[in-house]
Amino acid sequence: MTTRVARVGSLVLGGGNPVVVQTMTNTDTRDVSATLAQIKSCAALGAEIVRVAVPDRAAALALKEIAAESPVPVVADVHFQASLAVESLKNGAKGARINPGNIGGPEKIRSVAEAAGKAGAVLRVGVNMGSLDKEMLAKYGRTPRAMAESALKEVGLVLETGFSNLKVSLKASSVQDTVAAARLFHELSDIPQHLGVTEAGDLIAGVAKSAVALGVLLNEGIGDTVRVSLTGPPEDEVLAAYAILRAAGKRMRGVEFISCPTCGRCEIDLLALLKEVEGRISDIKEPIKVAVMGCRVNGPGEAADADLGIAGGKNKGTLFVKGKKIKDLPYSALAAELERRAREVARETRLEAEKTRE
């Protein structure tokens, strides 16, 4: 079923709109400049919503400045205290992530819903396997069914207030439980879903778990927003989310990097080159393909097949642009020249897209 639309400030999600990428800051929200710096660097990489923890009143107050200067909608993550959600929404948050079951009863839920309505904000009903509704836990045990039914019940508590600009998340640390719960909820409701595997782990474990869970669900048409939770910098979460969405054929934003695993034929430091190239051009928003390959076995083919490519040689590399061999360059000059050409290709891609839209 197609989900209904939800609005996070001016951002529209659900209803078949492109899957939205989210992340969450790991700074102390009361530290406005550190939090804003992290939000801005994530937004530059494509984060479209950023969530911040609001554990106390000082954090809710800090949101005033953060939300005013953030380039993307900021969502307040609140537990237990409805007043913090209300305060955050008054201070410019365009959403609040709450668990209606632990926010203090119908009156408190109503106060949060009213504040969200006034702010043009979304409420995210968040259910985790670790925080299930007691009645559902007793009825279904710690199962995906209990997660889906908890979410449905908690969504119902908000809908009773007359507020309906909602999304839900059903998160477990197990991939199988996350997938099963999301599927079940999708059968029961058209409320847009935010997908993610909670406490997924560090970069390798977290990306692997998230890719499997999100890959399955996105392929089934389930999921309106995503977060790749990682124990690590939120910037990595954003890059990983786009990599997963690209692999799932859902979002083509940004640079797709293709690189070989290297082998005994490689005569350049390919990993260092790849890291340098990534560092230089990961901010490009246009969907371009860049191949960084170790040698002349598969290098020229892949490099020529991508929008831009390098095929390594002995302390040098051959640069390809749009399938054409441009020139050989010494190793030390490769990354800078590739960046210059990539920005040109990105600009052409952008102009072409604008022309098509006109």
Closer to ligand SF4 by Cβ: residue 137 or 297: 297
148 binds ligand SF4 (CB under 6 A): no
Contact 188, 179 (CB under 8 A): no
**Which residues on adjacent β-strands are paired with residue 34?**
none
Closest-approach residue to ligand SF4 (CB)? 294
Q: Which stretch binds ligand SF4 (CB under 6 A): 38-46, 105-113, 126-134, 289-297?
A: 289-297
Q: Which two tokens stand for residue 345?
A: 């290709």
Among 118, 139, 265, 275, binds ligand SF4 (CB under 6 A): 265
Q: How many Å apart are CA 9 and CA 76, to the nearest integer?
A: 13
- Across the chain, the runs of DSSP E, i.e. the strands, are 5-8, 11-14, 20-24, 49-53, 74-77, 95-98, 122-128, 166-171, 193-195, 225-226, 255-259, 288-293, 308-312, 316-321, 324-330
Q: How many residues bind ligand SF4 (CB under 6 A)?
A: 12
**Of the candidates 263, 324, 356, 358, which one interacts with ligand SF4 according to CB under 6 A?**
263
CB of 290 to ligand SF4, least distance (A): 15
Output DSSP code: residue 102: G
Of 297, 304, 326, 333, the one binding ligand SF4 (CB under 6 A) is 297
- Binding flag, residue 9, ligand SF4 (CB under 6 A): no
Q: How far is the CB of 277 from ligand SF4 (least distance, A)?
A: 15
Instruction: Report d(CA 280, CA 260) in Å as an integer.
Output: 19
Q: Do 20 and 226 touch, CB atoms closer than 8 A?
A: yes
Q: Does 295 bind ligand SF4 (CB under 6 A)?
A: yes
Q: Which of 294, 309, 313, 317 binds ligand SF4 (CB under 6 A)?
A: 294
Q: Are strands 316-321 and 324-330 parallel, antiparallel or unpaired?
A: antiparallel
Nearest-approach distance from CB 274 to ligand SF4, in angstroms: 11
Work out whether 100 is an interface residue with ligand SF4 (CB under 6 A). no
d(CA 114, CA 74): 18
- Does position 128 interact with ligand SF4 (CB under 6 A)? The reply is no
Number of helices (H), then strands (E), in the chain:
12, 15
For residue 299, state whether it binds ligand SF4 (rule: CB under 6 A): yes
Regarding 293 and contact with ligand SF4 (CB under 6 A), the answer is: yes
| Residues at the interface with ligand SF4 (CB under 6 A) | 260-263, 265-266, 293-295, 297-299
